[in-house]
Amino acid sequence: MTRIFSGIKPTGHLTLGNYLGAVRQWVETDQHRADALFSVVDLHALTVDHDPARVRRLSRQAATLLLAAGLDPALCTLFVQSHVDEHTRLSYLLECTASDGEMRRMIQYKEKSAREKAAGGSVRLSLLTYPVLMAADILAYGADEVPVGDDQAQHVELTRDLAVRFNQRYGQTFTVPRAVLPQVAARVMDLQDPTSKMGKSHAETSGIVYLLDEPDVVRRKVMRAVTDSGSEVVYDREAKPGVTNLLELLAACTDKDPGELAAGYTSYGALKKDTADAVVELLRPLRERHAELCADPAYVDGVLREGARRARELARPTVDAAYRAIGLLPAG
Ligand code: TYM
């Protein structure tokens, strides 16, 4: 059976980008067709300046939201990364096969390290090695597929390189995974700056729709979205990034083709209104279910405990095999 792994890091409140780019596929298809594992990858949240209490709170919130979105513990495994030691065990071995040049070429490293430096901070070493930990997340489970948004494709490519290299040098140990991107909304853009990704850790929030935003807040954010010069509604990312982003959102919410949708609009206002309505309706059940689950934290704890138990059981043999293959003496 196909094995799937994917994760989400608790560095901010989950956004519409996270949902459309990744979580929706996990819920609607992945958990039904494969042995799927999904993780709140909290260790990754420590790679930039962080507040311990906030990371803890966001980890719980992310797990609760994933269940609210429809992940079903009877169909898939949901767990918190730091509850399973195999991730860090394997990450170190992979660090011993990766080069620093490879890490410095990662687009997210370049962007995030530049941002940290511009803010006068220092860059944590873990930000540089982040993609190796991500590779460990995936390889520990022998995942065949990694459903992610477009911004993670380069990290999955690196994971493939590391897996192939390890297998060639030390013997067949890892499955070589591949990224699976959604057809539409693989890169949801910020509503105020449609040339940059809608990201949960951005400081300026007026262009970001959070999954838990109240309907009137969602509506306001979409109605105030930056559009492009002219008034024609066309699907063209280069010439009309703002309009194209709205068309992609509407298409993703209504399961239609963004290019065909464009033909039905003669004004930006009507497109914004329909998009706002569609996003509000998409998020409504999720917000309601989230409120119910918040009233039952013991249920969420139980799911995460059982998820970690199963994840540990699955990862242990592969990570142990990697320890042996790379030349470490087994404990007697
Ligand atoms: P993260 O937490 O930034 O995002 C989680 C998922 O949401 C997708 N995504 C988007 N998709 C479309 N449009 C957007 N604006 C948008 N923003 C985010 C991301 O592509 C991702 O699929 N490094 C990963 C977490 C991770 C991981 C892993 C993922 C750690 N280990 C192993 C897969 C497998 C990250 O920071 O995702």
CATH number of the domain at 68, please: 3.40.50.620
For residue 173 and ligand 1, the question of a CB distance below 6 A is answered with no
Do residues 62 and 48 share a domain? yes
Probe target for ligand 1 pocket from 148, 154, 245, with the most ligand atoms within 8 Å of CB: 148
Q: Which residues are annotated as a binding site for ATP?
A: 9-11, 17-18, 149-151, 188, 197-201
Task: Give the pLDDT score at 79.
Answer: 98
Terminal Cα distance for the chain, rounded: 34
Give the pLDDT of the chain (332 residues) as one tens digit per residue. Answer: 999 999 999 999 999 999 999 999 999 999 999 999 999 999 999 999 999 999 999 999 999 999 999 999 999 999 999 999 999 999 999 999 999 999 999 999 999 999 989 988 899 999 999 999 999 999 999 999 999 999 999 999 999 999 999 999 999 999 999 999 999 889 999 999 999 999 988 888 999 999 999 999 999 999 999 998 888 999 999 999 999 999 999 999 999 999 999 999 999 999 999 999 999 999 999 999 999 999 999 999 999 999 999 999 999 999 999 999 999 999 88
Task: Give the pLDDT score at 324.
Answer: 98
Calculate how far, in angstroms, residue 24's C-alpha sits from the geometric centre of ligand 1. Answer: 12
Calculate how far, in angstroms, residue 8's C-alpha sits from the geometric centre of ligand 1. Answer: 6
Burial of 89 (0-12, 13-18, 19+ CB in 10 A): middle
Do residues 235 and 146 share a domain? no
Do residues 257 and 305 share a domain? no
For residue 63 and ligand 1, the question of a CB distance below 6 A is answered with no
256 is an active site residue: no
Domain count along the chain:
2
CATH number reported for the structural domain that contains residue 255 in this entry: 1.10.240.10
What domain range is 14 assigned to? Answer: 3-181+297-326
Do residues 135 and 233 share a domain? no
Do residues 220 and 279 share a domain? yes
Task: Give the pLDDT score at 332.
Answer: 82
Probe target for ligand 1 pocket from 18, 237, 246, with the most ligand atoms within 8 Å of CB: 18
- Which residue lies with its CA nearest to atom 27 of ligand 1? 7
For residue 7 and ligand 1, the question of a CB distance below 6 A is answered with yes
Helices (H), the chain: 16-18, 24-25, 31-33, 52-69, 86-95, 100-104, 107-118, 125-139, 153-170, 215-223, 241-254, 258-263, 268-294, 297-326
Probe target for ligand 1 pocket from 152, 156, 178, 210, with the most ligand atoms within 8 Å of CB: 152
Q: What span, in angstroms and rounded, lies between the C-alpha atoms of 290 and 298?
A: 14
In a domain, residue 117? The reply is: yes
ipTM score over 0.95, yes or no = yes
Q: Which three-class secondary structure state does DSSP give residue 176?
A: coil
**Closest Cα partner for 181 from 209, 147, 227, 232?**
147
Do residues 219 and 238 share a domain? yes
Assess contact for 235 and 244: CB atoms under 8 A: yes
For residue 241 and ligand 1, the question of a CB distance below 6 A is answered with no
**Model pTM score:** 0.97
Q: What span, in angstroms and rounded, lies between the C-alpha atoms of 305 and 97?
A: 32
Give per-residue pLDDT as tens, 177-232. Answer: 999 999 988 999 999 999 999 998 888 899 999 999 999 999 999 999 999 888 89
Do residues 316 and 287 share a domain? no
